Chains A and B, each alone.
Chain A
Amino acid sequence: MASEKSLSYVPLSSAINPSFFSKLSQLKLEVLKSEEKFVPIWGYTKLINDLNLPVNLIEVDSTSFNLHFLEHETHIPFYGNVQNVNTIEKFKNCDKQLLVDLEGAKFHEKLMNGDILKNPSLINWFHLLTYADLKKYQLYYWFAFPVLQNIVLRIARTCNITEEFSDNLVNDLYNEFKKLDSNQKPYFAVVKLQNFVQVNSLYETCNDWSFFKERELYFAFINFAPADNVGSNLRLYAACLVHFHPDLGNTEVNFIALNLGRNKDGVTLKSSTVYKLKLPDNASIDWSRWLGWEKNEKKNMGPRFVNLKKSIDPEEIMELSTDLNLKLMKWNMVPNLNLNKIKAAKCLLLGAGTLGCAVARSLLGWGVRHMTFVDYGVVNSSNPVRQSLFTFQDVLDSKPKAQAAADCLKSIHPGVVTKGYQMSIPMPGHLVNGEDIQEAIESVEKLDKLIDTHDVIFLLLDSREGRWLPTVLGARKQKIVINAALGFDSYLIMRHGIHVENATTPQAHNTSSRDLKSISGVNLGCYFCNDVVAPGNSTKDRTLDQQCTVTRPGVSQIAGAYAAELAVSLLVHDKGVAAPAYYSSKNNELDVDETEPSVLGLVPHSIRGFISSFEQFCPATEKFTNCTACSQFVMKNLFLNGTQFLLSIFNDSKQLERISEVPKYCDSIDNEAILDEEFSDWEIK
């Protein structure tokens, strides 16, 4: 090779691992939000380069955000910062020169305070500017591998390492290299002696400079370009050396560009190159002017762009985008919202009809990942138009509704854990005898187990008495029970109280201010509390149009949505199922702040609405002492007699009234008064 030639350098090349984007998204959503600060990340390159690559790739992936770099045995770390800006304009318009100059100034500081000398691997550094459009899975990014401007190294001599080092010395060099601390491996000093080589850190060399400068000294570095080329990091290395040892300025200094390769015997350094280079004068080095922004694929000075939509697993995309919408809501509207609590909630939907479908869709939107359906019916031809989880094909297949609903959820979002059970729920007044007894027992046991294994129980059945057993079991097991019921143009959504062993009679309403009253969530009434008559076979005497639940189509959508929203409000409330329900005794509008709200606001006991007048209000009532479902009497019987008690109720619903001591109660109060009382709840101010 000709002498007195200046070196040409191969710039480093960046590579993004597909896992990087997901991690960056997560960082933005969970930590950075709309901050644009610098976040330290790792890049890394292989110690032994892949065979035919023109230059080492500096890769970033999901592990780049880890605190520590762990792959020192096989990789060399690059220190860097990523700055994710919020808008494409900011990405385009920010001053790139200023950016590398400022980052370069930080490097210079580390050089001055000795950090670089102690840890020369800091010479391998980069900066990464990004703009991530999370909704479109697009990433604009630009890497800089900064080096100083105007560093010129002239070649005085160059040869293969084997021309200056015997085979034994080359092997020796590799063995000594392996012993170096990982931070010292990329840049170190070599003293060549007669029969062996001595390897020292730059720090050791500097401390004893007067000794080392008299030896046959080589400054070694890991070359990021294939042999015969040199990685651009050499310039920064040379500038640092002149800073450590100003007497090296304007002199010729030996370098070894290490290229690790493999041969039959393992790893070899034989393709490394020795350079004798004339270094610049220390005073001539300007530490304030940097360059190093990477060229893009078109070899232009410009950022790179990638659309990762096709690169991320579609299920992962689904998961990311559902979470994204929720998280946007979280940090824009409700910063304290605990999304994980909602995501983790296991929901049991009893009934997979219009209400079941509507509730499931809303829960899905909230990020609920675990839903179980129970329904006895199969999809029939009148269902798909009103019940949003079914299609005509389900009708043709006579698919059980519970199964069809679960399958549909899966097809909407494969990440959902869902299952459908085709089973009937035993009801009071629906006679059970003979062979049916075993079946009824099994149904009760199944339902019992399902309620045990879920956190929120939705009662979305189309008959009143079907709600009785889950109401009783839900209260007994202290679960969140959300009940939704429809009239032709009205709806009722309510949450139930829970059973508490040996509870005293519910406290009177606490008055905190004016006409504001509250009832502890524990003591709230259930669906049956307002009925004195026990649930019986309500479908028995109906005509056909009464048996089909005929409602205005929007009612089930509204009610389903409210049921889901009520459940979510309750889930994120600090007190959960015990969250108190506030109401105004004079039907005045409530000041939400006074109602111990959840982060989402008020958590009412019930929501009653009428489409005919488009009106709605939120009354609250306490448990009824003689309730045929949630009273102490029923709970006690259930505790003492279990399934036998339930069977007797299925066969004779009137028994319930006796157990709950309803007749006694009726004797004591006159019926008019009850009606009046209930009506006053309903009246609009």
Chain B
Amino acid sequence: MSLFNPEDPFEIDLISITERAAVFNVEIKRINAKMDNAIMSYKDFVTYIEAILAISNSTSDYWKLNVVNDNKFLTKKQSVLLENPEDINERLIATFEYHVVYNISYAVPVLCFDVWNQNGSRISLEDYWKYNKHLRDFNMHDTLTQTDHPALNRPIFAFHPCKTHEILKGFARTSKNPIVSWLSVVRHFVHLELLETYIKNC
């Protein structure tokens, strides 16, 4: 028996994952609606990452497509031997997991990554800088930060999307796949290997 009007506007609000997904979808619609001045719609983003995935599969590369809460993103795991440019004896094998995710508020792709040692402990940003010449030369400290993963809602390293915006603008009209063009620029900062095949085909 229900005592009271079932159409009570009052709602128990739990921010559940499904609700987050719903919010995400609404946001996507909102952003797509004003696409004229935005750089990349979510729809375009998906088209581009699917193109990358196709090339990856044909070359046995390791990009994988993930779908979480209706949110598609690419990931790839890759290990690299890092050397401290100042002390060649200081070397370590780092494993990166790259995520190419869509950021709805900036309407751009974001390159996120986790990086850990061979023993599974995470490498801090400070330690990471020590091994990356590019980061230091380009003064990228400010753009590389810890942030929440847009789809997984957990902390992860990422390049702040404001810079992405700048870089993408340069490719917006010319590139067949702006995500590949953008990755070819930022990959140096995170040791991301990008086969020539991607650049050739995009």
Contact = CB atoms under 8 A, between A and B. Distances in A.
A262 B59 contact: yes
B12 A267 contact: no
A50 B13 contact: no
A382 interface: no
Nearest to A19: B120
B13 A419 contact: yes
Interface in A432-466: 442, 444-446, 448-450, 453
A313 interface: yes
A453 B121 contact: no
A308 B120 contact: yes
A328 B65 CA distance: 38
A422 interface: no
Contacts of A476: 3
A445 B61 contact: no
Given A57-B95, A266-B60, A444-B4, A13 B10 contact: no
Interface stretch (B43-51, B180-188, B189-197): B189-197
A267 B81 contact: no
Interface residues of B, number: 36
Interface stretch (A35-43, A622-630, A638-646): A638-646
A289 interface: no
A188 B22 CA distance: 51
A300 interface: no
Contact of A304 (B58, B62, B95, B119): B119
Contact of B120 (A48, A74, A262, A306): A306
Contacts of B80: 50-53
A57 B10 contact: no
A51 B58 CA distance: 18
Given A47-B60, A74-B60, A311 B4 contact: no
Contacts of A639: 1
Contacts of A638: 3
A262 B61 contact: yes
A221 to B, nearest CB: 19
Given A15-B95, A53-B79, A313-B155, A642 B3 contact: yes
Nearest to A49: B79
B4 A445 contact: yes
B14 interface: yes
A340 interface: no
A445 B3 CA distance: 9
A419 B16 CA distance: 13
Interface in B166-202: 193, 195-197, 200
Interface string B1-34: 1011100101011100000000000000000000
**Residue among B3, B95, B118 having the largest count of chain A Cβ atoms under 10 Å:** B3
A449 B12 contact: yes
Given A47-B60, A74-B62, A17 B120 contact: yes
Nearest to B96: A50
13 contacts: A16-B119, A21-B120, A50-B80, A53-B80, A53-B93, A267-B60, A311-B121, A311-B122, A419-B12, A444-B4, A445-B4, A446-B10, A449-B12
Interface of A: 13-18, 20-21, 46-48, 50-54, 57, 59, 73-74, 139, 260, 262, 264, 266-267, 297, 304-308, 310-311, 313, 315, 372, 417, 419, 442, 444-446, 448-450, 453, 476, 638-639, 642-643
